[in-house]
Amino acid sequence: MKQMEDKILAEGKVLSDQVLKVDSFLNHQIDPQLMKAIGMEFAERFKDAGITKILTIESSGIAPAVMAGLELNVPVVFARKRKSLTLVDDLLTAKVHSFTKNETNEISVSKKFINADDTVLMIDDFLANGQAVNGLMDIIEQAGATLAGVGIVIEKGFQQGGELLREKGIRIESLAIIESLENGEVKLKKEVPTK
Amino acid sequence: MKQMEDKILAEGKVLSDQVLKVDSFLNHQIDPQLMKAIGMEFAERFKDAGITKILTIESSGIAPAVMAGLELNVPVVFARKRKSLTLVDDLLTAKVHSFTKNETNEISVSKKFINADDTVLMIDDFLANGQAVNGLMDIIEQAGATLAGVGIVIEKGFQQGGELLREKGIRIESLAIIESLENGEVKLKKEVPTK
């Protein structure tokens, strides 16, 4: 998605060979117009997949997921990273390790909001090692729901998450794929048109 | 806002005299169409306030804030509840106690994203004791920015936050005000037209 790639090249900050900071439009400050464009792009790519629900994870997945939900006209559920006292229902849970933050969170989704009839589009801001996607897949499986595919705003193509998931036959649609962050420079993978 | 009030009456669950659960459309599952309507309503109410930035707090404030930002065509910044390793810049911080979760979090906003030129619309999902609003006001003050007002999706009118803030002269626009949750029943305050 050219608009996304342009934004990364204009505003992304390379903190190390592993870490790209995009807090001016996605992870801390959010560009609502860009989120709308992202939501429309995900909706276009998954419009024929029979999506009934979008699943994401707090916090940075929420904005792109809600915009996609608006376009596809389906509810969005965000997995929580900690249990809240007002979430008293039966929960589906999974463990997710964040290498960036160097911590393991339990993520949880109320059983009420995902069930065996659902065809789920998963959306997240980053795909690196695939920890978050694996945790959400675990939850989708526990619910007996069907995973239609995964929409990722920025994939770190030099980490193994995307490759491992694609090898399992999971449909991954990444709007931008970073090939390398070496020498303080963002190198994007050339976009392969999906159709 | 009638659509909001109808949704609360249809789907809100009273857990106690103090706690209303709205996790089917706002706090866990999100209704994107309702979020869009909420964003449009906040934008309408604050369209003449010269807003340059929207400030909210993760996670449940993000969806309504981004929709309002889309309508007002301004960036949204969400305060984080914990420091992230990729937020290395100078931070503005404040302490916020959550009575619902019975914990105190440090919230933080990067200095880069709020400054003295900004006129800020604050948006949050709930207003109860006003802890989150006070924390965000503290951050706005540290930045030297101007607070135009506060947009709240659901105000607990039987708690003191709204009253104390209005007494200070702060403009609070709540889309629904709960008068009481006694006897397991949601009683809404009759809407007073703003204009």
Of A19, A21, A80, the CB nearest to B28: A80
Instruction: Let me know if residue A192 belongs to a domain.
Output: no
The H or E element spanning position A152 is strand A146-156
pLDDT tens for residues B19-64?
A: 999 999 999 999 999 999 999 999 999 999 999 999 999 999 999 9
Question: If pLDDT is split at 50, 70 and 90, which confidence band does B101 have?
Answer: confident
Instruction: Let me know if residue B193 belongs to a domain.
Output: no
- For B31-63, the three-class secondary structure string (H helix, E strand, C coil) is CHHHHHHHHHHHHHHCCCCCCCEEEEECCCCHH
Residue A86 contacts B, CB cutoff 8 Å: yes
Instruction: Let me know if residue B195 belongs to a domain.
Output: no
Instruction: Let me know if residue B160 belongs to a domain.
Output: yes
CB-CB under 8 Å, B15 with A77: no
**Beta pairing, strands A53-57 & A119-127:** parallel
Instruction: Let me know if residue B164 belongs to a domain.
Output: yes
Q: Tally the C-alpha atoms within 13 A of residue B111's C-alpha that lie toward its C-beta.
A: 8
Tell me what ipTM this predicted complex has.
Answer: 0.94
- Is a pLDDT exceeding 70 seen at residue A153? yes
CA distance B131 to chain A (A): 17
Helix (H, G, I), strand (E, B) or coil at A27: coil
Residue showing tokens 């001016």: A24
Residue B93 contacts A, CB cutoff 8 Å: no
A54 contacts A69 by C-beta, under 8 angstroms: yes
Q: Is A129 annotated as a binding residue?
A: yes
Residue B97 contacts A, CB cutoff 8 Å: no
Cα torsion A49, A51, A54, A60: sign: positive
- Provide the domain count of chain A: 1
Query: CB A124: neighbour CB atoms within 10 A?
Result: 22
Say what the pLDDT of residue B87 is.
52
Percentage of chain B beyond pLDDT 90 is 87
Instruction: Let me know if residue A31 belongs to a domain.
Output: yes
B interface test, pick of A14, A42, A55, A70 with most B CB neighbours within 10 Å: A70
Q: Which residues of B touch A85 (CB under 8 A)?
A: 100-102
A127 contacts A148 by C-beta, under 8 angstroms: no
Instruction: Let me know if residue A193 belongs to a domain.
Output: no
Q: How far is CA A24 from CA A1, A8, A32, in A?
A: 18, 10, 12
Q: Which domain holds residue A169?
A: 2-187
B8 contacts B186 by C-beta, under 8 angstroms: yes
pLDDT tens for residues A104-149?
A: 889 999 999 999 999 999 999 999 999 999 999 999 999 999 999 9
Instruction: Let me know if residue A114 belongs to a domain.
Output: yes
User: Quick one: closest CA in A to B23, which residue?
Assistant: A87
Please give the Cα distance from B57 to B132 (Å, whole number). 8
Q: The domain spanning residue A101 has which CATH number?
A: 3.40.50.2020
Q: Which residues of A touch B26 (CB under 8 A)?
A: none
A162 contacts A174 by C-beta, under 8 angstroms: yes
Helix (H, G, I), strand (E, B) or coil at A132: helix
The rounded Cα A129 to chain-centroid distance in angstroms is 12
Residue B78 contacts A, CB cutoff 8 Å: yes
Q: Which residues of A touch B28 (CB under 8 A)?
A: 77-78, 80, 87, 109-110, 113
- Residue A169 CB partners (closer than 8 Å, separation 6+): none
